[in-house]
Structure 1
Amino acid sequence: MNKVSCLIVDDEPIARDIIQSYCGHLEHLQVLASCGNALEAKKVLQQQKIEILFLDINMPVMDGISFVKTLKSPPQVIFTTAYKEYAHNAFDLAACDYLLKPFSFDRFMIAVDKAMEKIRPAAQAINASESQAEDFIFIKTEGRIYKIQHDELLYAEAQGNYTRIFTTTNTLSPKMPFSNFEELLPKALFLRAHRSFIINKSKISHIEGNRIFINSTEIPIGSNYRDVLMKDLGFSK
């Protein structure tokens, strides 16, 4: 897989370093340049193909929102800012995502995944067809291998080095990191609601405040996941 080219634009060196570090943990990303203002970024965009733009909003000379308006064919834009009040304007520009500083690495990954879905639609289509071809997963625990249909899986919870899986008929606790289990699931059907919870969105009974109800079970909605989750369910800002 060819690496996705990225550009970081932020007037704060520490903020640029954090994003650069986060990108370094994801093998499919390649940071081609890191700039302190919009004018430097403009030169980079004229010289190189950039697919993801990590862009601060509150910067000297030209703010991030004004900068995006000057671009005829902008890349996927992920705004990074310490100010909530810019969110509406950012999404008006069809921004891919909006990260409120300080943001965690898992929230950063969610934003990158959203950008990747738009950059590599062909790959997503292949993944979707594969998901349709197989509507089950295999889980090994306690010396047995269990076949779990996607429709039987209600939700899963992280518990240290284990993942606790709740189905319509059983509860399994394989010694499997939560992130590894998440990779087995089709993103079209399962959502991360919290750093410790993945849910089957077809099993949601209702949502009340910051809680998801699956049957009589209450599952918390993490603050870093709420916006993405609600948007995935069809409720825009």
Structure 2
Amino acid sequence: MINCLIIDDEQPAIEIIEDYVKKVPYMKCVATTTNPVEGLAIINKENINLVFLDIQMPYLTGIDFVKAIQGKCKVIFTTAYDKFAIEGFELDIIDYLLKPVPFTRFLKAAQKAFDIFETEENKKPAAGLPNYIMLRGDTKGSFVKVELTDIDYIEATGNYVCVVCGNKKIIAHTKMSTLENLLPAEQFIRVQKSYIVNIFKIATINGNSIKLKNNEKADIIIGSTYKEAFLEIVRNRLADN
């Protein structure tokens, strides 16, 4: 959703753009104002992605406004004057709409904004989630890299843990709690004292029994201490919620 702010010193002009924004499903009008100085305060307070901005206004022109926000959000100019177009695009605005603005022209600018935001979002790195863990190997100073997507489940065995990846088992000298803290909670959940399961590898849940997609032999029982937290995750992901 693109959060929008509309700034124009003429209220009828605001109402037109606000009505257009309401017609676009991926846009939301967060605020409007006839005062560009107040608009600066709104940007500092609210999560604004895009400003529809008039140019010829009292106190602060649209050109000065863009310079003042220093790239905090994107801008589309809405103005009756075409003489500022070159300067506007030099300030890296998304589009330049001349009043009266037809809805078809507005929609073209809105789609351009959507494409820009989507491209920027796709360029962002993944949300900080690790995609592997490192386990100590059999010999001193050796380590084994294990991709999180390969892990079916992890079983505690005394002072060791067994990381099961399909038919492959990796034994590591570490505590279950230490390993649990390294794993992203969005992907792994402890279902009993001795087992951590990859949520994405679960095939079926029948009562207290968990069956995994890639490991038909594994029959993991949900412990009473961990059952409520586990079932809460399951309920949140039910298709018929």
TM-score of the two chains, using structure 2 as the length reference: 0.49
- Find the structure with the greater CA-based Rg: 2
TM-score of the two chains, using structure 1 as the length reference: 0.50
